[in-house]
A and B are shown apart, each in its own frame.
Chain A
Amino acid sequence: MIGTHFSGLDWVIVVTYLAATMGTGLYGRRFVGGIADFLVAGRELGLYLAVATLAATEIGTITFMYYAELGYKTGYASFVNGLIAGLVMIFLGRTGFIVKRLREMRLMTVPEFFQVKFSRNLRVFVGILVATGGILNMGVFLRIEGTFLAIISGISLSHIKAAMTAILLLELVYTVLGGMVSIVITDFIQFIALSIGTILVTIWSVHSAGISRMYEAVRHNMGAGGFNPFSNPNYGWSYVAFQVLLMLAVHTCWQTTAMRTFSTRSPEVSKRLFSWAGFIFLGRGMMPMMWGIAALAMFGPAQNSLEAMPRMLTAILPSGILGLVVAGMLAATMSVNSSYLLGWSSIIAQDIILPLRKRPLTSLQQVMLNRGANLFVSLFVMVWGLWYTLPGPTYFYLNMTATIYLSGTLVAVVAGLFWNRASTLGGYMAMAGGAIATIAFFFFKTPASYAGAGAFGLAAIGMLVGSFVAPRKQPALQVAPGA
């Protein structure tokens, strides 16, 4: 048992929050009439609701944990990650680059793009890569979120495993029944709760650690590398280049983010969504990194880097506030997990199983198939989350599992949208090149920045070579069939 101020009042706050989330989540199922409602909420999202659901989906306890870990290990230099994530998103919003055209195509999943522009078989191939990378990525969420809750609530890790399983089941119930509609409704509540938690924790941690003590802690432990990302061995120019490409890919081709693009009311709303959410993404990165730096100032560098931030919270937050923060973190956890569950299972159902079937399914049969895939992904995540051990900092693991498919996908999407010669062989070679370079990170321990930048480079070469060897013969479609 770990010392914490978590009291009966905090439990009441948390349980009330969970009950309210379940109730609103279940309310969404009455609006699901077909597959477009289930996967893209009938394309009815207005700007502010889209901002709430995108932010709630991409801000989870896992996000706080890995960004705080980066702050703890690499000081203020870690802010470069938050800055790139936010600026790239604002750039996409201001220009509409990629996102506007993707929205105009009326897609429901990212691999569907590959059938429209290239071929059905390539869609299946991409679907397999996307589902593998995405589910491996999500696979570590439960363990890390459980670690956070165990430390902050004082419950032992063995009991937390049961609690995390119960939370996953709660998310599963409303995701299976209401799909994207339920997720959007709960995301709205979760966005408010997690934002309040984020702001409270930021104020509390900076106030408790002291701004000058934080500066001194970074200077003393890291020197210039704690401030200047170009003199920090974890970062440098190749890392910055990799991050710009990765964020470009994440914001446009990451299934859970792309589903928000596809769900907006119009291409114009999708553009504005990115302009607004870009500012949220600046804070999404920098605020938890500041918590990590505060933990460094309070405890020194000898802590377990992943656990330092939650340990600091238990030390500084009083009862009542701790309950609000845990409710906020649970909100973050549930919104991310439910969206990811829907995102990856939709790929399995829509992009792997459906294209391989001889007879098409009706819209309602597709909803049932997606519900089955929801169950499968939940089971996998539960098992994987219990036994897999991370090979290094969480952030780099998540980056690389995403890069397995994002490098090739970004290259193929840009080529498919803006280059008439881009061909199916080019698409295959781009996807294979990106995946092979990324796998080097896991098997040969290549540094993340080199493996990541190499993945995008190989994907681009693959696309060029494939398209010149076997150029496209017919013009591609402009809109998803049956949209």
Chain B
Amino acid sequence: MNATLQAIPSVRTNEATISPSSIIARLQRVSKHYGDVRALREVNLSLRQGELLALLGPNGAGKTTAVKLLLGLAKPTSGTASIFGGNPVDSTVRIRVGAMLQVAKVPETLRVREHIELFSSYYPAPLPLSKVLALAGLQEIKDRLFGDLSGGQKQRVLFALAVCGDPDLLFLDEPTVGLDVEARRLLWAQIRNLLEKGKTILLTTHYLEEADVLADRIVVINHGEIIAEGTPAEIKTKTAGRRIRCVSNLNIATIRGFPYVLEVEQKSNAYEIRVVEAEPVLRELLTRDPAVSEIEVSSAGLEEAFLALTRDNTAAPRR
């Protein structure tokens, strides 16, 4: 399958982001073991200036581990993690970084404003409080105690703590987990806002839609290994490509033999054909079977792409 994938030209590569000097965070051949658990294996990952990179994968794939390594909260078992060309644990690096992590409990008896003011004080040139409150949509509840907030409001406070120092680089680890649709969209708008200001963002998520909507690039990770990388469009094309549905007299083996066909399934009287590109397959179909009918072509959603990727990877032999 891989051979087919690499032949496909990239759909929207942003040339400006490719020069190596613009890489501001990087994992180089990084492995991380927790006892017997191999959270990451030989992972290479670079984050380029001004982009939003989505690290997409199911729970336990190693996303949070990758974030912790880049934040200097964990040390690689082998390989190196670097940010701004330096060690992630250096305070000179940390003042340029903001992070929203998954946290089970935040001190509940501090007011929203007090939490933000404290974190702002750690940074040399923080944003004014009013601006942070506006960015995270917290103006109305700035005097509430953290413990009195709803789940979505709590997430917004954690978001505010990540952005209050006006960092150049942001890590958002599952920022919208547990949020309702409206709150999620609000946070997406706030994230886009930051991208427009030139921030670089690494976002982890297991919501495919989220990666599709926000990311310039997606890195799909599963079982501690990167299994695909590309723009959202590329990821979609690469894996599930497009889908043709039709009724035909041809037998299934014949269709499987067509170029550009990835997979054929018989669904009652119709075929479902997963293809890399639709047009050549359609041409072939119409030539071989003039009676072919009820043709539908659809593009596979990211969800399918993602499921296909992680399923294939699970089937692969484990080391």
Q: Judge: A and B partners, yes or no.
A: no
Chain B residues close to A by CB (< 8 Å): none
